[in-house]
Amino acid sequence: MSEALQEIKELTDAAYQYGFSTDLDTDIAPPGLTEDTVRLISSKKDEPGWLLEWRLKAFEAWKSMEEPDWAKLEINPIDYQALSYWAAPKQKPVLDSMDDVDPDIREMFDKLGIPLHEQKMLSNVAVDAIVDSVSVTTTFKKTLAKAGVIFCSFSEAVQDHPELVREHLGSVVPVRDNYFASLNSAVFSDGSFCYIPAGVRCPMELSTYFRINAMNTGQFERTLIIAEDDSHVSYLEGCTAPQRDENQLHAAVVELVAKDRAEIKYSTVQNWYPGDENGVGGIYNFVTKRGRAHTDAKISWTQVETGSAITWKYPSVILQGDRSVGEFYSVALSSKRQQADTGTKMIHIGADTTSSIIAKGISAGHGQNTYRGLVKVLRSAKNARNYTQCDSLLLGSECGAHTIPYIEVKNPSARVEHEASTSTVGEDQLYYCRQRGMTEEDAMSMIVNGFCREVFDELPMEFAVEAQRLLSVSLEGSVG
Amino acid sequence: MLHVKDLNVSIGETPILNGLTLDVGPGEVHAIMGPNGSGKSTFAHALAGRDGYKIEGTATLDEADLLDMEPEARAAAGLFIGFQYPVEIPGVNNMYFLRTALNSVRRVRGDTEIGARDFLAVAQEAMDLVEMKPDFLNRAVNAGFSGGEKKRNEILQMAVMEPRLAVLDETDSGLDIDALRIVASGVNALRGPERSMIVITHYQRLLEYIRPDFVHVLVDGRIVESGDHKLALHLEDHGYADFVNHDLNDAPERSLSGAAR
């Protein structure tokens, strides 16, 4: 192994920063998944009958389904009966102010660099903090309410705005959509809910911060964002988890509804625990994310995926309305023994619909990175346009990068472009930077960040800085 | 300033430099000329610390033992290489790269780092030197640059880095006459009593613009002839044939004790 390769290895084997766990008093259900489990969750949350019915329908569907095996992933068998489907930090049921947040939880978020104290917030971001799938607090609720924006936990939305939830839940990702989405629909515990009224431009960035803390629990969050006509919202999510030796299942569902001329920008910085360099432990991140864009609406997904042992995730846009726009910008890093099979689906239904896809895959260590993307143009989608660009960067000689595009075009007026490239961080580039005085570590970080530039440019400012730092940390190590 | 003694460099089993000895004093400009494969670029990269070379001998810059240092430490010690083939770094803003480079060496030297705003003035001055338009700084490092732009960018970097010793490796290759003039006038503007330069070139043409104090002929990994700029003119007329055969009988009459002190 050359010196540069050796150093890349050291860089990418760096320790995970967020691996601590917090000793929280947790309300946890016994392991196992039956119809009774679904009923228990629903009753714990005091849900209306229609929602229990909906969950049970999903559970019936799930029982008849098989785990998907088409992805380029090696997954240890998951024993769904060994998992616990309900874990919640015990605390007072109602929060009047931030001071009521459990001090242990506050300390945990402080340690993660997420201030829950509104006075201490540096930036104009409202946060919904979710621990083990239960929302513990949401900041800036009052400010948002003045603008008519509803931003709360999913459970609160079910109680306070049942008509909105009932109308839209499952409208983009139906209960029978896929194995993990059906499982989520049956047992989801909490998540974020967001409603932007017609004509409103949300006055601040909304964000959800997910933290897995408990052991041996599955994590099933549900996020629903509804943007009414002519509204606009930018939404961010971040995720971390403690370092544990067993794999933990995280199967979330996110549904976005962008009505006429609305715009939703959804950004993710995913940093779940990736497992160690031997592939022990780490989160299984099996997530279904999809948006429906109505006439002249725009949905934009941006993701920076650096964590998880396995990522299985294809944020998609159904371009239903004429002239609707879908975008997907992605950076996925697989180092150590991480595997990522991720990409997007752009389903063109309306006329003059446009989608663009920019996917950057970085593979290091023994990481395996697969881009899998579908561009589907239906007969109705006259003059549909798609541009796809997939770039892979290989750091080292034992990792892999794979690009698997699927293109299905039923309307001859469509124009679909696909570009792909694979490159390595050259020793020439490192040497050039070092001759200019930079350390090898700084040079590597600069080159990799440069590779991701087009995607980082799409992130809101607060997250762009965070993403760059995260990428550097993920590649950081004991050089020299 | 720079003292190189008995430098032997091989790549794998192939010897490239065979006992190269060269001294460069403060403020001096030395030209190294020689045929393809004579080891000119290897000399530059051996000084800079590129991977993959087996090296014997000594090379010191201001008393610092270059051969014992990491490439970035050599840069901080004041060594700058103008690359023959500048490397492209997509997505990395040229201005950001320059500022990171400058601050990296300043940090090592114990100087304060320069903020983005102050750096703009530093960069502007350097830009004027190589007659570059402002948008040049906002493009990615060398990505999509023409050959001439890449070479001008090297001189721009040199101007920002303010090195003690600059080794310019075939900076004239691939330049049209206008670009050559711009690059050369940039180099000349950066000459000074505290800065030395080694200009590696095939052609005498560059030396019409950058008048060297000494000219050396490098053949088969060692300096076989040294003189002043007239030596370059001789090479222009007669090529390297006189030296390649190690037969110096046809060489112009001159003392060999001149530059290779």
Cα nearest neighbour of B81 on chain A: A435
The shortest C-alpha distance from B52 to chain A (Å) reads 9
Calpha distance B106→B125 (Å, rounded): 19
C-alpha distances out from residue A92 to A46, A95, A137, A157, A257, Å = 16, 7, 11, 18, 33
Give the nearest partner residue to B92 out of A431, A435, A450, using CB atoms. Answer: A450
Q: What would the pLDDT profile of A167-205 be if each residue is shown by its tens digit?
A: 999 999 999 999 999 999 999 988 889 999 999 999 888
Q: What share of chain A is helix, strand, coil (3-state, %, to 5)?
A: 25, 35, 40
Closest CA to B198 of B165, B229, B155: B165
From chain B, pick out residues whose CB is under 8 angstroms from the CB of A440.
72
From chain B, pick out residues whose CB is under 8 angstroms from the CB of A435.
48-49, 71-72, 74-75, 80-81, 83
pLDDT at residue A316 in the model: 97
Taking the model in full, what pTM does it have? 0.80
Query: Measured between CB atoms, does B86 come within 8 Å of chain A?
Result: yes
> Choosing among A5, A434, A442, which should be mutated to test the B contact, i.e. which has the most B CBs within 10 A?
A434
Please list the residues that pair with A375 across neighbouring strands. A346, A407
Give the nearest partner residue to A437 out of B51, B72, B92, using CB atoms. Answer: B72
Closest CA to A190 of A105, A131, A237: A131
Collapsing DSSP to helix, strand or coil, A398 comes out as coil
**DSSP character string of A350-363:** STT-EEEEEEEEEE
Query: Measured between CB atoms, does B81 come within 8 Å of chain A?
Result: yes
A444-459: burial string, b at 16+ Cβ within 10 Å, e else = bbbbbbbbbbbbbebb
Query: Measured between CB atoms, does B114 come within 8 Å of chain A?
Result: no
Least confident of A155-169, A237-251, A257-271, B212-226: A237-251
Query: Measured between CB atoms, does A433 come within 8 Å of chain B?
Result: yes
Give the nearest partner residue to A438 out of B50, B51, B72, using CB atoms. Answer: B72
From chain B, pick out residues whose CB is under 8 angstroms from the CB of A442.
100, 104
Task: Tell me the average pLDDT across A78-105.
Answer: 65
From chain B, pick out residues whose CB is under 8 angstroms from the CB of A447.
89, 92
From chain B, pick out residues whose CB is under 8 angstroms from the CB of A389.
none
From chain B, pick out residues whose CB is under 8 angstroms from the CB of A438.
72, 100-101, 104
From chain B, pick out residues whose CB is under 8 angstroms from the CB of A393.
none
Q: What is the DSSP letter of A89?
A: E
Beta carbons of A435 and B157 less than 8 Å apart: no
Query: Measured between CB atoms, does B70 come within 8 Å of chain A?
Result: yes
Beta carbons of A437 and B51 less than 8 Å apart: no
Query: Measured between CB atoms, does B97 come within 8 Å of chain A?
Result: yes
Q: What residues 357-386 of chain A have any CB closer than 8 A to a CB of chain B?
A: none
Q: What number of other Cβ atoms are within 10 A of residue B253's Cβ?
A: 4
Closest CA to A360 of A340, A377, A346, A374: A340
> Quick check: ipTM above 0.90?
yes
Calpha distance A19→A13 (Å, rounded): 14
> Choosing among A391, A432, A449, which should be mutated to test the B contact, i.e. which has the most B CBs within 10 A?
A432
Q: What is the DSSP letter of A14?
A: P
> Choosing among B139, B141, B162, which should be mutated to test the A contact, i.e. which has the most A CBs within 10 A?
B141
pLDDT at residue B76 in the model: 96
Q: At a CB cut-off of 8 Å and minimum separation 6, what does A145 contact?
A: none
Answer whether A233's CB lies under 8 Å from A260's CB.
Answer: no
Q: What would the pLDDT profile of A331-361 be if each residue is shown by its tens digit?
A: 988 888 888 899 999 999 999 999 999 999 9
Query: Measured between CB atoms, does A426 come within 8 Å of chain B?
Result: yes
User: What's the mean per-residue pLDDT of chain A?
Assistant: 83
The shortest C-alpha distance from A479 to chain B (Å) reads 12
Per the model's pLDDT, the better-predicted residue between A381 and B174 turns out to be A381
> Choosing among B80, B83, B92, which should be mutated to test the A contact, i.e. which has the most A CBs within 10 A?
B92
Least confident of A271-285, A390-404, B74-88, B179-193: A271-285
The shortest C-alpha distance from A65 to chain B (Å) reads 44
Query: Measured between CB atoms, does B110 come within 8 Å of chain A?
Result: no
pLDDT at residue A18 in the model: 64
Calpha distance B153→A122 (Å, rounded): 39
Answer whether B216's CB lies under 8 Å from B259's CB.
Answer: yes
Per the model's pLDDT, the better-predicted residue between A124 and A56 turns out to be A56
Query: Measured between CB atoms, does A449 come within 8 Å of chain B?
Result: yes
Strands A125-131 and A87-89: unpaired
Beta carbons of B89 and A426 less than 8 Å apart: no
Beta carbons of A454 and B100 less than 8 Å apart: no
pLDDT at residue A307 in the model: 82
The shortest C-alpha distance from A426 to chain B (Å) reads 9
- Left if phi > 0, otherwise alpha if psi is -120 to 50, otherwise beta: which for A296? left
pLDDT at residue B197 in the model: 95
Calpha distance B2→A436 (Å, rounded): 19
User: CA torsion sign, A388 to A295 to A168 to A302?
Assistant: positive
Beta carbons of A435 and B48 less than 8 Å apart: yes
Beta carbons of B92 and A447 less than 8 Å apart: yes
Cα nearest neighbour of A423 on chain B: B90
pLDDT band at residue A121 using 50, 70 and 90 as cut-offs: very low
Q: What is the DSSP letter of A437?
A: T
The shortest C-alpha distance from A331 to chain B (Å) reads 14
Give the nearest partner residue to A427 out of B48, B51, B92, using CB atoms. Answer: B51
Q: At a CB cut-off of 8 Å and minimum separation 6, what does A32 contact?
A: A81, A85
pLDDT at residue B259 in the model: 43
Query: Measured between CB atoms, does B12 come within 8 Å of chain A?
Result: no
Calpha distance B175→B170 (Å, rounded): 10
pLDDT at residue A398 in the model: 85
Answer whether A153's CB lies under 8 Å from A93's CB.
Answer: no
pLDDT band at residue A365 using 50, 70 and 90 as cut-offs: confident
From chain A, pick out residues whose CB is under 8 angstroms from the CB of B90.
450-451, 453
From chain B, pick out residues whose CB is under 8 angstroms from the CB of A4.
51
Tokens of A123: 């930036």
Collapsing DSSP to helix, strand or coil, A370 comes out as strand
Calpha distance A272→A479 (Å, rounded): 24
Q: What is the DSSP letter of B78?
A: T
Answer whether B94's CB lies under 8 Å from B141's CB.
Answer: yes
Angle of CA points A71, A77, A82, to nearest 5°: 135
Residue type, A144: L
Q: Count interface pairs A-B at CB distance under 8 A.
A: 81
**How large a percentage of chain A has pLDDT more than 70?**
79
Tokens of B86: 């500048």
pLDDT at residue B33 in the model: 92
Calpha distance A307→A17 (Å, rounded): 11
Over its length of 261 residues, how does chain B's per-residue pLDDT go in tens digits? 999 999 999 998 899 999 999 999 999 999 999 888 899 999 999 999 999 999 999 999 998 999 999 999 999 999 999 999 999 999 999 999 999 999 999 999 999 999 888 998 999 988 988 888 888 888 999 999 988 899 999 999 999 999 999 999 998 888 888 888 888 888 899 999 999 999 999 888 888 888 999 999 999 999 998 998 888 888 888 888 777 765 444 444 444 444 443
Distance of CA A37 to the CA centre of its chain: 26
Distance of CA A180 to the CA centre of its chain: 14
Residue bearing tokens 């239960």: A134
Beta carbons of A436 and B70 less than 8 Å apart: no
C-alpha distances out from residue B186 to A98, A351, B31, B151, B209, Å = 61, 56, 17, 11, 10
User: CA torsion sign, B9 to B15 to B20 to B26?
Assistant: negative
Q: At a CB cut-off of 8 Å and minimum separation 6, what does B98 contact?
A: B119, B123, B137, B156, B157, B160
Answer whether A436's CB lies under 8 Å from B163's CB.
Answer: no
Q: What residues 118-137 of chain B have any CB closer than 8 A to a CB of chain A?
A: none
Q: What number of other Cβ atoms are within 10 A of residue B128's Cβ?
A: 12
Beta carbons of B91 and A3 less than 8 Å apart: no
